[in-house]
Amino acid sequence: MIQHPVRSVRRAQPATPARGRLQSLVQGGRRRPRRIAMLSVHTSPLHQPGTGDAGGMNVYIVELAKRLAALNIEVEVFTRAICSDDAPTVELAPGVLVRHVTAGPYEGLVKEDLPAQLCAFTHGVLRTEAGHRPGHYDLVHSHYWLSGQVGWLAAQRWGVPLVHTMHTMAKVKNAALAEGDTPEPAARVIGETQVVEAADRLIANTTEEAAELARFYAARPEQLAVVHPGVNLDVFRPAASGAPGTAEARRAARARLGLPADAAVLLFAGRIQPLKAPDVLLRAVAVLLERRPELRERLVVPVVGGPSGTGLARPESLHKLAAQLGIGDVVRFHPPVGQAMLAEWYRAATALVMPSYSESFGLVALEAQACGSPVVAAAVGGLPVAVRDGVTGTLVNGHDPADWSRALEPYVTDPELVARRGAAAARHAAGFGWDTAAATTAEVYAGSLARPVGRLTGTRRLLA
């Protein structure tokens, strides 16, 4: 982790251009920033979700940055270069620039190795800013604790607010650890605590996450802002033909994917790692087929995604588990896919299954519902917000395969239930557009600009 100075060493003139610019932004009321530095150290918004460490956070950053740009807030995303062919800068969308920072070897580094590269990454960020006029960035928004460590120093040096989004928290994950999974290290806990102390504002996905920030990390009420993530309703939407959740819409999607038209499709979509608990789905299916063997002929369990995180230690373990449970004939493994194809999988599903041990929010649940598919999910994290229990799907307490088997059975045997909850799911998800999330985030930015910057003694600079 980076050792941060107590006092800023940025240009020490009493009235810098950066200060003057920020003052002009807040005169006459709360104003939005013109340009922000968004930090995503360990995973790039250009990477395919479902591979390596790419997942919901990648989707979050891409969609948020695009919508902020539409609000005339320029976004420059700093991420670590992982290939010598990575261009220094890539335009992701109008008003959104991705900057690749060289920090450590391009290949062979896992997320756990990255703390040793934070100084190199910070150097790249600061060097980029130093090539511009003072005040180039009005605000820093960091994602995940590694980025927060970099954002802490950058925000101090530039005299601008630090807004941070955790996405996941070590203490929360360790409190709900999957059996056999590796706990998050103490270094991460310490790093997260430092970032919470340094941040001007903390964006939480749900009120529950905000409460966890306060309980586990002593976040102050004035730091916390709740902004529900959104879903791309242009991509994740019901089929063009057929009402949401109807058998007709599902048959059309299944035809395009080569799935049986009359199958009961229980879909897992996401990174294959203990935290996401795809093994719970497989064990529940085995229990269900033991009790109802006649369902085997029509049951299909697609697993769409690749090994990630601690799942990389045993990348074939889920395949072996399916064989050991005697359900290798119903489980189908598919590599990660792009958003358009992922939407097809959602439309084809009888239900999406999310047995996760921890979820900051669960964007996958929203995406599936937007496509007209109900969701059976663990009652953890933000999933009780994303899924309306008994209306758009089912929430399950705990991870006992027998309980999950009972929760899944009605979706396999009752087409009317699937149709009713699928239609309700599409209506529910329609209320979670990214435009709303971006507008709310922009207001959090505006509030940060209108307040003193910096939580550490000697670093506060009054901006309004």
239 against 17, higher pLDDT = 239
Residues 193 and 44: beta-carbon distance below 8 Å: no
Domain with CATH 3.40.50.2000 in the chain: 2-230+433-463, 247-429
Q: Are 154 and 128 in contact (CB under 8 A)?
A: no
- Which residues share a beta bridge with 35? 74
Consult the annotation and say whether 359 binds a ligand: yes
More confident of the two residues 302 and 12: 302
Residue 100: beta bridge partners? 79
Q: For residue range 85-106, what is the model confidence (pLDDT) as tens digits?
A: 889 999 999 999 999 999 988 8
pLDDT at residue 177, as a whole number: 84
Compute CA 233 distance to the chain's CA centroid, rounded to the nearest angstrom: 17
- Binding site annotation covers 56? yes
Q: What is the DSSP string of 201-255?
A: EEEESSHHHHHHHHHHH---GGGEEE----B-TTTS---SSS-TT-HHHHHHHHH
pLDDT, mean of residues 225-250: 81
Share of the chain above pLDDT 70, in %: 86
Fold classified for 2-230+433-463: Rossmann fold (3.40.50)
Band the pLDDT of 24: cuts 50, 70, 90.
Answer: very low
Percent pLDDT > 90 in the chain is 71
Give the residue-averaged pLDDT of 38-59: 76
Residue 16 among known ligand-binding residues: no
349 is in an annotated binding site: yes
Determine the pLDDT at residue 286. 98
Whether pTM > 0.85 for this model: the answer is no
User: Is 319 among the annotated ligand-binding positions?
Assistant: no
In 3D space, the residue among 109, 333, 338, 369 whose CA is nearest the CA of residue 231 turns out to be: 369
- Report, as an integer, the average pLDDT of 48-69: 79
Q: Is 58 annotated as a binding residue?
A: yes
pLDDT at 355 (0 to 100): 97
| pLDDT class of 240 with cuts at 50, 70, 90 | low
Q: CB–CB of 377/354 below 8 Å? A: yes
d(CA 209, CA 219): 11
The pLDDT value given to residue 241: 53
CA dihedral 312, 189, 440, 222 (to 10 degrees): 170
Alpha carbons 387 and 351: distance in angstroms, whole number: 12
55 annotated among ligand-binding-site residues: yes
Q: What's the pLDDT band for 111 if we cut at 50, 70, 90?
A: confident
Region class of 75: left (phi > 0), else alpha (psi between -120 and 50), else beta: beta
- Evaluate whether 117 touches 109 at the Cβ level (below 8 Å): yes
Q: Where are the alpha helices (DSSP H) in 47-117?
A: 56-70
| Cα first-last separation, the chain | 32
Q: Confirm or deny that 414 is annotated as ligand binding.
A: no
What's the pLDDT at 56? 75
Residue 135 has pLDDT above 80, yes or no: yes
How many whole angstroms separate alpha carbon 462 and alpha carbon 449?
A: 10
Lowest mean pLDDT among 23-32, 266-275, 294-303, 384-393: 23-32
Q: How many whole angstroms from its chain centre is CA 130?
A: 30
Segment 113-131 mean pLDDT? 95
The whole-number average pLDDT for the span 80-87 is 88
Q: Does the annotation list 244 as a binding residue?
A: no
Place of tokens 């935290």: 275
> Is 49 labelled a binding residue?
yes
- CATH fold label, 247-429: Rossmann fold (3.40.50)
pLDDT for residue 456 is more than 60: no
Left if phi > 0, otherwise alpha if psi is -120 to 50, otherwise beta: which for 54?
Answer: beta
Supply the mean pLDDT for the chain: 87
**Mean pLDDT computed over 328-353:** 95
Mean pLDDT of 372-394: 96
Determine the pLDDT at residue 307. Answer: 78
Residue 53 annotated as lining a ligand binding site:
yes
pLDDT recorded at residue 310: 56
The pLDDT confidence band at residue 42, using thresholds 50, 70 and 90, is confident
Q: How far is CA 248 from CA 134, 242, 351, in A?
A: 58, 6, 15
Residue 34 has pLDDT above 70, yes or no: yes
pLDDT at 224: 98
Please calculate the CA angle 50-183-78 and round it to the nearest 5 degrees. Answer: 45
pLDDT at 5: 39
pLDDT single digits (tens) 178-226 = 877 889 999 999 999 999 999 999 999 999 999 999 999 999 999 999 9
